[in-house]
Amino acid sequence: MVQEIQLPVVATKNEWTILDSEKLYRIDGWGEPYFSINEAGHVTVSPMGDRGGCIDLFELIHDLKQRNLRLPMLLRFSDILADRIERINSTFAKAIARYNYNGVYRGVYPVKVNQQRQLVEELVEFGKPYQFGLEAGSKPELLIALATLKTPGALLICNGYKDLEYIETALLSQRLGQTPIIVLEQLEEVDLVIQAATKLGIDPILGVRAKLSSKGIGRWEDSAGDRAKFGLSMWEILEVVDRLQAAGLLNSLQLLHFHIGSQISSIGVIKDALKEAGQIYVQLVALNANMKYIDVGGGLGVDYDGSKTNFYASKNYSMQNYAYDVVAAIKEACAAKNIPVPTLVSESGRAIASHQSILIFDVLNTSGVPNSPIEPLAEGEHLIIRNLFETLENINVNNYQEVYHDAAQFKEEAVSLFTFGYLSLRERARVERLYWECCDRILKIVRQQNYVPDDLEDLERIMAHTYYCNFSVFQSAPDSWAIDQLFPIMPIHRLNEEPTCRGTLADLTCDSDGKIDRFIDLRDVKSVLELHPFYHGEPYYLALFLGGAYQEILGDLHNLFGDTDAVHIHMTPRGYQVEHVIKGDSMTEVLQYVQYSREGMLENLRRETERALQAKQITLAEARLLLQNYEHSLSGYTYLS
């Protein structure tokens, strides 16, 4: 009879340091120069990169909670936004100087990346020294740009589908001192522009968006090529030239635009596109178009996993490399035809907006495989149970792969026996507990091996704990769910302590897709995240980084979880200052989105409680408490407090 089960001895490091955490979570790769770990084991934020002070993120959250702000919470660091704008302008300035480029750079921010008013206003303010402009991809975004952009000389790039009102509005903005460039993306837009220009007596500034043969890479590779949603083929561009010439407006054609997709991970793809676009540009000059600008679109990638490779969640080039290649390619194309170089324009929204935003959320609970003590084998126990006990006793480094399959087979046999009534519920539960103990011991051995057999690759994921977190994937990280976007996720404290657990993250929604089980690794994706044990009564905070592009505006109301609290943080000589606080949605607000009235709902519940009182189904005290809680909830946060 087996009286006691001894756990195998597994060698572990005696002491975990912050250097181990830096390596594990790859923060030096994706976080440079803004994020690091201090001696207390807390993540720090340096909003001005290596040119300013830093903030302890754990202490910041504690401070903000003292101000009655709630988790989950979105932090926006205004100084990171300013730093990103300064960096992209300085890299182009350096490239222009290096190649003696006789032109200038005028960046624009694509409003679609994050349309939040405070962010766009800050971006315009920070961009003033560089005449940084805006790009609108729709009529509502054009209205935002016209109300916000007040920088003399800054460009307003007008993309997207256009009707006559869109075009007239853009043209009339010239009277306000704006520099709108209407980019023609459909042949039908040419006639609308001619009609509006004739009616208003305003000479437009026009561009054409070309469909390049050069295609992007990864998720957005179809943004270019023959099947691209937007842009004109070569014969359509010639048709534009002919129609404008016939209308006496060829002098208005001044810009060539192209876009090969978002998050381009390989610099080689960018070089190919620049070479092709450069030739289109010089050919338009040869057709007597009054060319002055080339807009290289977006695509400047963000290194989400810190690997600095052409993996889709990374990029194998720096911002400076990108600027060098843009300047060099366009100069070479123009020099070959002895024509003046254009003003360079880029729409690098992801590279500008991603870093400034951090989502902080807390862990509410965890669940995992059973870990209760195993009772000794008793006389007369079922053969399946005895076999599993023997299997468990004999696990070692030489047989763990074979034993894993034996344990799995015994578990399957137990299920079959239970289904046909030959095994009790208590016996089946005992089998499962023994099976999971076998898996746990085998996993400890597997973690020490240099090579993991194919049939054991899923064991880490199978044994992982689920960490239930106070946020909604669909609201705060929709690209993680929709297109398998990877974001760096890690604890913001306890980083001087070894994370001994492996877990996946589950959100508050009652949707099986409301989870994150794909995490960054070195040029790879791992199915579990290294986390610390969760202790009830002690806060455990996680953060999702680099989510400032697209996530806020793409978020939806699945299960009616609304916008989170958002806080703008600004560095001062004395530390940090809370610049703006934007309260997250209340339950009343999200219910109004789906046409429910607070007053109507309260009245309906009041009537129901009155009916229940009359029928003596509820006491007066219970009815009062129910109505109190109901009304309080309507005013409260959609997340758990």
Whether 53 has a binding-site annotation, put simply, is no
Marked catalytic residue, from 54, 158, 334, 510: 510
**294 annotated binding-site participant:** yes
The phi-psi region of residue 313 (left if phi > 0; otherwise alpha if psi is between -120 and 50; otherwise beta) is alpha
Instruction: Decide: 492 and 57 in contact? Cβ < 8 Å.
Output: yes
User: For residue 359, what are the β-bridge partners?
Assistant: 74, 544
What one-character-per-residue DSSP string does 154-218 give? Answer: -EEEE-S---HHHHHHHHHGGGGT-EEEEEE-STHHHHHHHHHHHHHT----EEEEB--SS---G
- Which DSSP string do the residues of 274-318 spell out, in sequence order? HHHHHHHHHHHHHTT----EEE--S-B---SSS--SSSTTS-SS-
The backbone region for 276, taken as left when phi is positive above 0, alpha when psi lies in -120 to 50, beta otherwise, is alpha
Q: Is 305 annotated as contributing to ligand binding?
A: no
Any known ligand binding at 301? yes
Per the annotation, does 555 bind a ligand?
A: no
Closest CA relative to residue 303, chosen from 346, 266, 269? 266
| Cα–Cα distance, 354 to 349 (Å, whole number) | 8
Residue pair 281/291 in contact (Cβ under 8 Å)? The answer is yes
Find the helix or strand (DSSP H, E) in which 231 lies: none
Establish whether 296 is an annotated binding residue.
Answer: yes
Does residue 469 carry a catalytic annotation?
no
Distance from C-alpha of 564 to C-alpha of 64, rounded to nearest angstrom: 14
Residue from 153, 93, 83 nearest 327 by CA: 93
**479 labelled as ligand-binding?**
no
Number of H helices, E strands in the chain: 22, 23
299 annotated to a ligand binding site:
yes
CB atoms within 10 A of CB 611: 11
187 known ligand binder: no
* DSSP single-letter state for residue 404: H
Q: Is 129 strand, coil or helix?
A: helix
According to the annotation, is 297 in a ligand binding site?
Answer: yes
Q: Two tokens at 289?
A: 């178009």
The CA distance from 238 to 255, in Å, is 14
Binding positions are: 294-304
Q: Catalytic site residues?
A: 510
Which residues sit in the known binding site for substrate? 294-304
